[in-house]
Amino acid sequence: MMEEEVCGMSARIDSWREDLAPRIRELRFTAYLLSQSPLVVAGFVLMFAFIVMAVFAPFIAPYGPEERIWIAKLQPPSMEHIFGTDESGGDIFSRLVWASRLDLAIAVTVVLMAIALGASMGAVSGFIGGKTDEVLMRVTDVFLAFPPLILAMTIAAALGRNLTNLTIALIIVWWPGYARLVRGQVLSEREKLYVEAAQAAGASRSRVIFRHVLPNSIYPLLVNATLDLGGVILTAAGLSFIGFGAGAGIAEWGRMIADGRNYMFQSPWMATFPGLAILLSSLSLNLVGDGLRDVLDPRLRR
């Protein structure tokens, strides 16, 4: 009996290896194609640098995000403060590093929650069709009818001006795009033979949607999510700049620019370095997203 169990386990392991082998080859080929573009490689390097900066902020930043050196106000970049200090003696480099953790966390949270909500609604709408599709898509159209920035400002102002409510507002703004994207993919996928085979085998509708159809629609979501991360960073920083996000003194890139706008001629480094952080982080994510789109598009891989 023991030998039979061992043989059965060995057979399952061999089966898993056979299933994984083509996936591993595909991943290697994708990585090879991505490595052929210098811009995509630069995007990955920049993106990795920001991720490392956010994760290891306590070890990289020489000062805390709220730490102030009152006798060192508005100091220009130097060996002691490589990005200078702000109007209250805060070290710009340290605050910028800590802000990367906050801004990237907002971007990742917004995109993941928008995907979870939008993809689920889009998948159900596209697969079931009929009145369900009509109702869900009309709800989606209501949100898409408003300019995204105006809608985010309205929701953030109604809920209260802080980062938590700003994140909720951005999730509400971003999910309809994913609902539309996934619905289109599901409408294409549901006509394929593997869906009919799964239904003929007795799989429930929810199992077919979330176990079979949705995973086969993941590539456009991956590309769109990468591009949207940069968009969320820009939008969150912009809303914080005009007062709908981070409060005064909080280490957040948009807020840091807002705090430095009154010192643009006296101490331009206060707004310049957070602005460069926003530029480079968004640029890196857009370069990576464009590279993924080119590589994952089968028409470009022939």
Using the predicted structure, report yes or no on whether residue 284 has a pLDDT greater than 80.
yes
C-alpha 166/C-alpha 172 separation (Å) is 10
Q: Which two tokens stand for residue 5?
A: 């169990």
pLDDT band of residue 278 (cuts 50, 70, 90) is very high
Q: Which two tokens stand for residue 244?
A: 């709908």
pLDDT band of residue 6 (cuts 50, 70, 90) is very low
C-alpha 109/C-alpha 63 separation (Å) is 26
Domain boundaries, the chain: 37-300
Q: Give the model's pLDDT for residue 302.
A: 47
Pick the more confident residue, 168 or 208.
168
Tens of pLDDT, residues 115-144: 989 888 888 887 787 788 888 888 888 888
Using the predicted structure, report yes or no on whether residue 158 has a pLDDT greater than 50.
yes
Residue recorded with tokens 């709220």:
66
- Count the neighbouring beta carbons within 10 Å of the beta carbon of residue 48: 12
C-alpha 301/C-alpha 233 separation (Å) is 31
Q: What is the CA radius of gyration of the chain?
A: 24
- Count the neighbouring beta carbons within 10 Å of the beta carbon of residue 237: 28
| pTM exceeding 0.75 | yes
Q: Which listed CATH number (3.40.50.1980, 3.40.50.300, 1.10.3720.10, 3.40.50.10310) goes with 37-300? A: 1.10.3720.10
Q: Give the model's pLDDT for residue 1.
A: 46
Question: Which stretch of 4-18, 45-59, 157-171 has the lowest confidence by average pLDDT?
Answer: 4-18
